[in-house]
């Protein structure tokens, strides 16, 4: 874990004061001036026996700078088995991407996907729960530094069990059926977009599918998509999560010409798998140098191009940013990894103005 007298971030505003100074950690962070709030996207009422329950609500926290200078808000969608906190303070105590986006002038909406984080999960209502998140899975996906010398940006050393305990604490099980949670995510994101209007979706890992599904539901409300280390490859199977049986998703997405079944999609020539909702859609695929997932980025990009999206590959080592893994949004150099995304967003806004 980081020592109390270490300095993080981009300058003196993020300096963590010495523990010897006798100042509580909550007094060490500079005061922020912003507008903030929270609300719920409710789920449907369902009957179980004699009682009525709510099915899959979604928690939303939002923050906006005193003066919003960017034309579109950002919706940050966390990865599988995680929660919206992965966009907030980093595991070593620095401001995360959510705050950096606010500082850059964006209104930001951070969700806890249905069944995750502050969004409740009752198996009686939602269906069977999947396996718990294991330490070994965390090591394999997020912590290749344990075996790869060039994973230079991970937050703590391999023998720091206290830090690893804190990191794994945020993870929880998903519904057993991937189609269940992707259907819920699609529906709740559509309702959120109806409420806030046109926005940019920023997804990570297993939530990559949510970007395509939200665009399919609300094509006029999804301005662009930034997908960080998206789950893949197309049609791929991810252990303890599920299979992208419809190509980019585990549930139906609208193709032109229409495809009635996953088997039809898989059998089709990839160049014919156009997705009208993604036609001309600006998409940035962000990938790290040593992430196990990054090897699928080229296949995802090719599939998205066939679908009709206007795709840019933001492969960090190609941009001079080295040593990042799957958790690049909160690794040691997270203030550096966000910079290509901020530049890309500015470019997208300029083309729409």
Contact of 125 with 39, CB cutoff 8 Å: no
Within 8 A by CB and 6+ apart from 346, the residues are: none
Give the other-Cβ count within 10 Å of 194's Cβ: 12
Can you tell me the distance from the alpha carbon of 2 to that of 130, in angstroms, rounded to the nearest whole number?
A: 33
Can you tell me the distance from the alpha carbon of 190 to that of 292, in angstroms, rounded to the nearest whole number?
A: 31
Q: Is the peptide bond before 233 cis (omega within 30 degrees of 0)?
A: yes
- Residues taking part in catalysis: 205
Helix (H, G, I), strand (E, B) or coil at 50: coil
Beta strands in the chain (DSSP E): 34-41, 44-48, 51-55, 58-65, 74-77, 108-112, 199-204, 222-228, 237-238, 242-243, 282-287, 310-315
């Amino acid at each position: 874990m980081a020592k109390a007298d270490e300095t993080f971030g981009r300058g003196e505003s993020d300096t963590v004061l010495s523990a010897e100074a006798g100042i509580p950690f909550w007094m060490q962070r500079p005061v922020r001036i912003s507008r903030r709030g929270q609300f719920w996207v409710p789920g449907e009422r369902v009957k179980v026996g004699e009682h009525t329950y709510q099915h899959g609500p979604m928690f939303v926290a939002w923050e906006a700078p005193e003066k919003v200078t960017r034309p579109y808000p950002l919706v940050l969608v966390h990865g599988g088995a995680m929660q919206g906190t992965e966009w907030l303070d980093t595991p070593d105590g620095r401001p995360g991407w959510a705050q950096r986006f606010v500082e850059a002038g964006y209104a930001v909406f951070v969700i806890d996907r249905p069944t995750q984080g502050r969004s409740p999960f009752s198996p009686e209502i939602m269906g069977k729960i999947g396996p718990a998140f294991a330490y070994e899975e965390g090591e394999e996906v997020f912590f290749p530094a344990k075996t790869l010398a060039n994973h230079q940006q991970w937050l703590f050393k391999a023998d720091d069990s206290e830090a690893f305990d804190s990191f794994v604490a945020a993870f929880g099980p998903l519904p057993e059926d991937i189609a269940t949670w992707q259907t819920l995510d699609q529906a709740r994101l559509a309702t959120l977009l109806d409420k806030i209007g046109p926005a940019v979706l920023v997804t990570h890992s297993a939530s990559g599918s949510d970007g395509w599904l939200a665009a399919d539901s609300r094509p006029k409300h999804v301005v662009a998509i930034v997908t960080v280390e998206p789950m893949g490859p197309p049609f791929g199977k991810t252990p303890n999560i599920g299979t992208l049986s419809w190509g980019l998703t585990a549930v139906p997405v609208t193709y032109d010409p229409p495809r009635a079944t996953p088997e039809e999609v898989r059998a089709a020539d990839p160049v014919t798998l156009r997705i009208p909702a993604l036609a001309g859609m600006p998409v940035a695929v962000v990938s790290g140098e040593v992430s196990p997932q990054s090897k699928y980025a080229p296949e995802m990009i090719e599939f998205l191009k066939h679908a009709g999206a206007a795709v840019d590959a933001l492969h960090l080592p190609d941009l001079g940013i080295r040593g990042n893994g799957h958790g690049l949004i909160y690794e040691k150099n997270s203030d550096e990894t966000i910079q290509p995304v901020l530049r890309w967003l500015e470019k997208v806004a300029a083309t729409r103005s």
